[in-house]
Structure 1
Amino acid sequence: MAKDSIKPIRRQDEQRVNNKIFVSKEELLDKVKTKPGELPCKQFEARNSLLTDLYELKHVRTVYHIALATLIGLLLNSAAYDYLQKGEFSFGFSLIRKGFVNFHFLIVIWLGMFLSTLPIYLGFKYWAVIRIQLTPQSSALKLWDRLCLGLLILFYSGFLYFSTLAATHNGQQTTATLGLLMEMARLLMKSHAFVRSNAPRVLKYKPHSDKELPCPNFNKFLYFFFAPTLVYQDNYPRTKTIRWNYVTIWFFEFIGGIFFLSFVLDRYFIFAFEYYGIRSYNWQEILIITLGNFATGMLLLLGLFYLLLHAWMNAFAEMLRFADRLFYKDWWTSSTYDRFYRTWNVVVHDWLYTYVYKDFYEIVTPKNKVVSKLMVFFLSAIFHDYILGFAFGFYLPILFINFFGFGVAFNFFKIKSDMFGNILFWYFTGIGMSINSTFYSIEFYSRFNCPIENVTIGSYFIPRFISCNK
């Protein structure tokens, strides 16, 4: 496992384990107050990902070896089953072959999405340069600001529409479309972060002062769009060198993670429901499969976490010499979902906190934490359902219910016992992943095995698995 050279940051309540210093739980603070009366702002520091430090411990590294041994065992079991029962070897790789059959189209579409974000920089700089030439507090200045704000909203809408259209209308499979839509969301969040972070500096600029117009140069804009963060700053802590051997290791882990997730989905969900609509499934059978895939749901969660938030993020951070590797915290020790939401994906959480929660709390609904928190859950639920809905070609409100229903409820639900809370957290997380995967698998094969001739807008929202199961 790659070992980063960045030294862990000490804050408070540090623990010494095997003569090494590690930061405990929530004591790894990453936000600081800048002005009285305002919420703390994101603070970037040179630090490792938590697993990078933990892998220095022999006992933790052994857990990683156990995970690899388990993966090898699952692959060998699948190979034996495929050969003895079907006379072939698949290892669950069929999803990968289908998902990236038109890989060259994916590159072209991604390039188009990226290039379409460049007008954000040009438009922002043009707005700032024209603005300082207008008379302060004049009607022309107010008209110019409102016109540019309207054009920005129009750009967001157009980018969302055309990116979705390109991702879903070029023969891409579900896996490829899902990746493109996730990238669309990332670029949209980056665009908003750049404008939202720099606009206040331009608004406060005094034309007759000696200072230069606070508009970042293009290099800073370009670096931000590739850096593994969604919160804009002019400068980030950087490492001195790039260790290409560690980049290679992390990319190999990323590729291995893709094969692992493909294998799990194919072996435990697709295989179980691929004949839905061809033969009848009763509710008892579906319930048994769902409950039986509780451990599989945890494997999906852990696989996605390691694939995206550790291997992929660390590889790009190393290539860009981005020193702040706090992409997640110790979410696995959570005893409440409130803490899980804050520690699972720090990258997205920081964006939601900085540009949604903080803006609502300080500007839209001053000092109202409940409304600010509800807006965070609502926006997160909408975008999760948007991405999955267009990737699969149908809408199931499963994630909306999870995020804006159970997510909000569990956020205010506290358990005093950390041990009992952590046990419940792991069970509900595993069974929740299993339920989500089961419903999406059933609906996907219902539409594949029971196609209808007259497709309407309503058919996108109406579940097919109820009428198809005959």
Structure 2
Amino acid sequence: MWPFKPTQRGGGKAPSSSVSLAEDLYRWKSDPCLPLSGPNWEETFVLLQGTCLRFYKSKLDVGFSPREELDIKGCAVDYQGSELKEFVVISIKDAGGSTLVRLASEHQPVALKWMCVLLAASTRPTASSLQELASHAAHIAGAQEEMGQPSPAQRSSNGDSYKQGGGRPRRKQVQKVEDRDGTSYSSQSEGLKEGVEQEELGEQERQKASARRHEPMSGSSPVHVVARPSYLSSERMWYEKHTGLVNLMAVIVVATNFRLALENAFKYGLRIQTPLRALNSLTIGNPNIPLALCYPCMLLIALSALFFEQCGAWSLKSDAQLKAAISKKIDGSRASYQQLTHKLSSRVSRFEWVLFVANLVNTSAAVVVPWAVIHYTQAEPLPGGVLIAVSIVLWMKLVSYHHCCADLRAARRNGQVRPGEEGFSGDSSLTNQKSSQRLLRYPENVTVSNLIYFLALPTLCYQINYPRSPTIRKRWLARRVAELVLMLTLLSLLLQQYMIPAISNSMSPMRTMDWPRLCERVLKLALPNIYCWLVSFYCLFHLWLNIVAEVLHFGDREFYKDWWNAATVGEYWKLWNMPVHKWLLRHVYFPTLRLGLPRWASIILVFFVSAVFHELVLGVPLHLVRMWAFLGIMLQVPLVLITEHIHKRLKRDEAGNIVFWLTFCVVGQPLSVLLYYHDYLYEVHPYLKGSSS
């Protein structure tokens, strides 16, 4: 506790100088620098003695000169409440209405207590502060009765309205307010009413003062009556609204982009094409029959996976029958029963290993066969990219299918029911949801219809039952389809009008290694690249996946989270692609942890799997397996550590978010596009064109 001595003995009204309080609070920083300098709210030790408010770095510095002193006599105290997610805010304003300081606490009782004391010291409550006092009268009474403090009613009746409450901020001890006015809380409502009446009288006086200010000025009328800082000074700029400047920045962005669009149109003309025509222009025109035959081949691979799982379900049923027969034949000999059970367990283990090898070969064929066809037929990038992407999605789905069924078989052999299955007795949202369809239980799910439904769903993780939407919203679906057509047209425009000319003009400085010119080209490519990437993300993750989910009654539509607010690179990878993120967690990260690998090794393995997929998606259709995409993803591991360190050091989400946008979208993606396009244009494209002719 911080000791405070009362300055008045006996009854009667306590002057404002008797009000004393000290506590650790948060203060809004008056820093004109960029937000990279640190958090806006800075923890500081605040000491109030009489009408003087002093600020120290910590409680240990009270014996030295304060960082700042502020006389709050005659100032207005405004309760802003929980306008932020973490803090309850109080503002102290001067006679002219300018904010002098903003204080905050993580706990409302602490903020209310400080508001009461500040009101008592300043003797200028505002209507919002008195209204807040009235709404929390009962809470304040109970908290102050425990502390033995005078009531807000008494302070209101004496012109020193304030509110007291219990609670304390994190890791800090709340200090008490002491004065000699120790009467009871018997007249709270009367005191609050008198306080409101005094506020009305004060408002009338302020209106009269305002009227006097608007009277005609004489030659000797004072025009400088209050000491005030400039609007953009460090004492004031962060307390004022700057909406006009934000609007100006938005106007500048719109005008700059419009100028760039006009410059591009004058330089290259209008290159607008429909999406189908743009796709046709990206191909050479060489029909590839083996490439088309890969799709029915992948369907056969999926049916083979179903056959293997049916074999597993048959094995489970056979083992159960054999175990029941053994228990009937054994005449009570425990040793014989254990011996036969051990043999049965060995048989099950051997069968599961054989099934694992068969599934491994089958799922690997889903990627190896399309890869071989793309390579040996010199497939064009666009159809080859679509095929390899579909094959990777199929591979991930089949891995999840086999992993889930194997886990369900193991649970069934142990007499367990997994969450999400019919008959699960624990708390499960799937088993508790109301649905017109009956929930399934393994091995009821091992059917052709169930597998085909899973392959069509916009998810990579298999489970027996999924959350379902009740109906198809036809108007909503039509709007999403129309949006998809419009966004694809916009993407085609961005590619043809901005991306292709910018990339083509970047080849000369790349071949001559003109670094200043190359940096200028990368920065020029960054803007259309960001636009194309955002439009592509919106088309795929928001429109297309939602359309498929709506048609198939798939209920869980969380395909992405707010990755644009990511404070670190690691947070971005967790938020932007939720289907892949959940698949990696379920089938890579946690299985490796169960095998005994440390957490850092599991994280590196997750990035390794992701890097392999990125290299396949980019390198195979472009016929450029250079490991650039692989290295780019693996280098995300140290980048994650760096951004985490920056975020912890600066304690600012904005700082990490800026680093993410700079490294990933402004530099990383444009540079990768230039590297791949350069090698494809000068090494692969002439070879493909020559082979087609």
TM-score scaled to structure 1, two decimals? 0.71
Contact 1:127-1:148 at 8 Å conserved across structures: yes
Alignment-derived partner of residue 523 in structure 2? 291
Alignment-derived partner of residue 120 in structure 1? 305
Q: 2:398 aligns with which of 174, 179, 191?
A: 191
Fraction of identical pairs, as percent: 24
Between the aligned partners of 1:236 and 1:440, the Cα distance in structure 2 is 40
Give the direction of change, closer, same or farther, for the CA distance of 1:268–1:396 in structure 2 (3 Å limit): farther
- 1:72 deviates by 10
Give the RMSD, CA atoms, in angstroms.
3.8
Alignment-derived partner of residue 93 in structure 2? none
Alignment-derived partner of residue 425 in structure 1? 660
Between the aligned partners of 1:348 and 1:209, the Cα distance in structure 2 is 28
Contact 1:120-1:191 at 8 Å conserved across structures: yes
Residue 279 of structure 2 corresponds to residue 96 of structure 1? yes
Residue 415 of structure 2 corresponds to residue 232 of structure 1? no
Between the aligned partners of 1:412 and 1:278, the Cα distance in structure 2 is 31
Aligned residue identity for 1:310:
H
Alignment-derived partner of residue 257 in structure 1? 487
- 1:447 deviates by 1.1
Contact 1:202-1:215 at 8 Å conserved across structures: no
- 1:450 deviates by 6.4
Alignment-derived partner of residue 216 in structure 1? 445
Alignment-derived partner of residue 180 in structure 1? 387
Alignment-derived partner of residue 48 in structure 1? none
Alignment-derived partner of residue 23 in structure 1? none
Alignment-derived partner of residue 370 in structure 1? 600
Contact 1:338-1:410 at 8 Å conserved across structures: yes
Alignment-derived partner of residue 475 in structure 2? 245
Q: 1:398 aligns with which of 623, 628, 632?
A: 628
Alignment-derived partner of residue 20 in structure 1? none
Between the aligned partners of 2:442 and 2:526, the Cα distance in structure 1 is 56
- 1:352 deviates by 0.5
Instruction: Name whichever of 386-395 and 199-208 sits farther off.
Output: 199-208
Contact 1:297-1:433 at 8 Å conserved across structures: yes
After TM superposition, the structure 1 = structure 2 runs for residues 163-174 of structure 1, keeping only pairs within 5 Å, are 163-168=370-375, 172-174=379-381
Contact 2:366-2:394 at 8 Å conserved across structures: no
Between the aligned partners of 1:118 and 1:330, the Cα distance in structure 2 is 37
Residue 619 of structure 2 corresponds to residue 389 of structure 1? yes
Contact 2:306-2:446 at 8 Å conserved across structures: no
Give the direction of change, closer, same or farther, for the CA distance of 1:248–1:329 in structure 2 (3 Å limit): same
SS at match of 1:133: helix
The structure that is strand-richer by fraction is: 2
SS at match of 1:374: helix
Pairs aligned (count): 386
Give the direction of change, closer, same or farther, for the CA distance of 1:321–1:73 in structure 2 (3 Å limit): farther
Residue 543 of structure 2 corresponds to residue 336 of structure 1? no
Contact 1:163-1:184 at 8 Å conserved across structures: yes
Between the aligned partners of 1:231 and 1:256, the Cα distance in structure 2 is 31
Between the aligned partners of 2:366 and 2:257, the Cα distance in structure 1 is 40
Max Rg structure: 2
Give the direction of change, closer, same or farther, for the CA distance of 1:291–1:69 in structure 2 (3 Å limit): closer
Gaps of 5+ in 2: 1-84, 87-252, 323-340, 418-422, 424-440
Deviations along 1:143-162, one digit per CA (max 9) or x if unpaired, are 32222111111112222211
Between the aligned partners of 1:427 and 1:208, the Cα distance in structure 2 is 53
SS at match of 1:323: coil
Between the aligned partners of 1:75 and 1:176, the Cα distance in structure 2 is 31
After TM superposition, the structure 1 = structure 2 runs for residues 73-112 of structure 1, keeping only pairs within 5 Å, are 81-83=267-269, 90=273, 95-99=278-282, 109-112=294-297
- 1:227 deviates by 1.1
Between the aligned partners of 2:489 and 2:256, the Cα distance in structure 1 is 14
Q: 2:551 aligns with which of 315, 319, 332?
A: 319
Alignment-derived partner of residue 29 in structure 1? none
Give the direction of change, closer, same or farther, for the CA distance of 1:438–1:229 in structure 2 (3 Å limit): same
Larger RCO, structures 1/2 (Cα 8 Å, 6+ apart)? 1
Between the aligned partners of 2:280 and 2:254, the Cα distance in structure 1 is 23
Between the aligned partners of 1:90 and 1:209, the Cα distance in structure 2 is 58
SS at match of 1:413: helix
Alignment-derived partner of residue 585 in structure 2? 353
Contact 2:278-2:492 at 8 Å conserved across structures: yes
The structure that is helix-richer by fraction is: 1
Aligned residue identity for 1:325:
R
Between the aligned partners of 2:663 and 2:510, the Cα distance in structure 1 is 30
Contact 1:79-1:91 at 8 Å conserved across structures: no
Give the direction of change, closer, same or farther, for the CA distance of 1:268–1:168 in structure 2 (3 Å limit): farther
Between the aligned partners of 2:655 and 2:611, the Cα distance in structure 1 is 27
- 1:280 deviates by 5.2
Between the aligned partners of 1:235 and 1:333, the Cα distance in structure 2 is 32
After TM superposition, the structure 1 = structure 2 runs for residues 194-205 of structure 1, keeping only pairs within 5 Å, are 194-205=401-412
Instruction: Name whichever of 208-217 and 90-99 sits farther off.
Output: 208-217
TM-score scaled to structure 2, two decimals? 0.50
Contact 1:228-1:316 at 8 Å conserved across structures: yes
Aligned residue identity for 2:557:
R
Aligned residue identity for 2:310:
K
